[in-house]
Amino acid sequence: MFYQNLISELTGVTGTIKLPLIFGASLEECCDYLNGLDDETSQRIDLTSLPTFGGSDIENTSEVFSWDENRVLVQGEQSWELQRRCSECGEAMFHCDH
């Protein structure tokens, strides 16, 4: 519900949109929020300001926009997706050689 209200509030907003740090939110909720945006609004989101949700920092953040202890948020071909992190090094599985 929170994200539906936030999406409604963004209607008519001009310029670049920075997502607020939402305390208590999860990586899954962030992914759902991004997938719920219309194309016009999603193109204006400042993807460099997405919060992270725990876990060690990732060294190779190429194609990784946020993370939690076990997953990374990536932009798929048609939607935002959550993918696993390597249990050994903590990197996104697509950046890992383990």
Provide the residue type at 48 as one letter: T
User: Which residue would you say has higher pLDDT here, 9 or 89?
Assistant: 89
Report the alpha-carbon distance of residue 34 to residue 91 in Å, rounded: 22
Residues of the chain with pLDDT > 70, as a percent, come to: 76
pTM of the model: 0.77
pLDDT of 71 over the 90 cut = yes
Please provide residue 13's backbone torsions phi and psi, each rounded to the nearest 5 degrees.
Answer: -75, 135
Q: Which of 13-22, 24-33, 80-89 reaches the highest mean pLDDT?
A: 80-89
pLDDT score, position 83 = 97
pLDDT score, position 94 = 95
Average pLDDT for the chain: 82
Q: How many DSSP H helices and E strands does the chain contain? A: 3, 3
